[in-house]
Amino acid sequence: MTVVIGIPASGEHETRSPINGDVVKKLAALGVRVLIQRGATDASFATPESLGDVDWAETSTEVIARADIVWSIGNLSAADQAALRPGQLLMGLLTPYASAEHVTALAATGVTAFAMELLPRISRAQSMDILSSQGAASGYECVLIAASRTPKFFPMLTYAAGTIRPARVLVIGAGVAGLQAIATAKRLGSVVHGYDVRPETREQVESLGAKFVNTGVSAAGSGGYARELTTEEKEQQAQALAKAVAESDVLITTAAVPGKKAPVIVTRAMVEAMRPGSVVVDMAAEGGGNVEGTVAGKEMLVGGARVIGPVNLPARMPVHTSEMFAKNLLNFTSPMIADGVLSIDWSDDVIVGTALTHGGALVHAGVAKVLGVPVAPLEPVSVSTEEEASA
């Protein structure tokens, strides 16, 4: 029996697809066939010729029915999700913390769902880390948005009558996205400052040629993420950041806490104190925003500054983000396939840590705690193939 990975079309506003020609070839070497809904890769510019030897389906319904494993960028449509069968595998960005209703409905299908947002932040899993690969693209795009909206040059410019000073850019958050934003802003010639509540990031910020803003607040957390600050720490942080924000021409914020609303780090008063023409790009807009006054998907005027809340940033550059997404999923999936046979090792911390639903229940304790719903012990069930399901 041949393992089939199915690729249904993504949502209306999604340009990425979780497959490309190189990954198709590597899957073939593992004994895997790829089934793609026609049109699913058009927006990512992956043509049938570039994809090579794959099978095609006319509808997402056909893809779901024939696939053993479903790869998706985000959540499936309600109809496609309802069509998932017990033992089938689903992998992608599944917004596990969205709502109890969402997770309960997914679990009810019996599907074994792996939410890539839950991937453990350990060295062995770095090649599978979709959040990091897509975050790098988001950080890059934030700087391009800022550069296109600011009324100033980013680099220092010398001309016949004198010299133009470079723009001052402040990046808040020194995760993958923030560091990419710092590196990109530096390449464009601006004077860059970086800030993160995790003091261990200072060396990374400075290694990229930026200056670190020291507020005296440390929020080092577990799993590579920052913990939530106390009220007193937030006040101390705000006082120290206010001066740095006011002196900046461009502010880019990238801070997020898994399973929680994005922390508000920059107040409206801080933005109003920025110089007229300043630009703020809030990468956390979809999670509520790091900046007071951010509206997801819109550009707002706060004082004399433009506050931009972009959404789905990785979809702005779908060729490379699709390539990265596909390789991440390949690296996560390939250990489950040996000699063309699908077999899940439930002793693997990466697999267990990423599993969201299994055997008809929610199995991720962290998600269960955030949503306030029961969690079931992880008990392996058989994984059905297309042939078994239709027998």
Find the CATH number of the domain harbouring 17: 3.40.50.720
| One domain for residues 300 and 331 | no
Instruction: Give residue 2's Cα distance to chain centre.
Output: 31
CB neighbours (10 Å) of residue 209? 14
| One domain for residues 288 and 196 | yes
Task: State residue 19's pLDDT score.
Answer: 98
CA distance 226 to 284: 15
Is-contact 75 10, C-beta < 8 A?
Answer: no
Q: What is the pTM of this model?
A: 0.90
Residue predicted with more confidence, 280 or 258: 280
Q: Which of the listed residues 296, 316, 336 is the one where a domain comes to its end?
A: 316
Domain for residue 128, yes or no?
A: no
Question: Which residues belong to the active site?
Answer: 121, 126, 129, 132, 225
CA distance 182 to 175: 10
198 pLDDT band, cuts 50/70/90, is confident
User: What integer is the mean pLDDT of 25-51?
Assistant: 96
Tens of pLDDT along 63-106?
999 999 999 999 999 999 999 999 899 999 999 999 999 999 99
Which range scores top for mean pLDDT: 203-212, 258-267, 333-342? Answer: 203-212
Domain that holds residue 111: 3-118+318-390
pLDDT at 279 over 90: yes
CA distance 85 to 346: 20
- For β-strands 89-92 and 112-115, DSSP reports them as parallel
389 pLDDT band, cuts 50/70/90, is very low
| One domain for residues 265 and 380 | no
Instruction: Give residue 20's Cα distance to chain centre.
Output: 19
pLDDT at 385 over 50: no
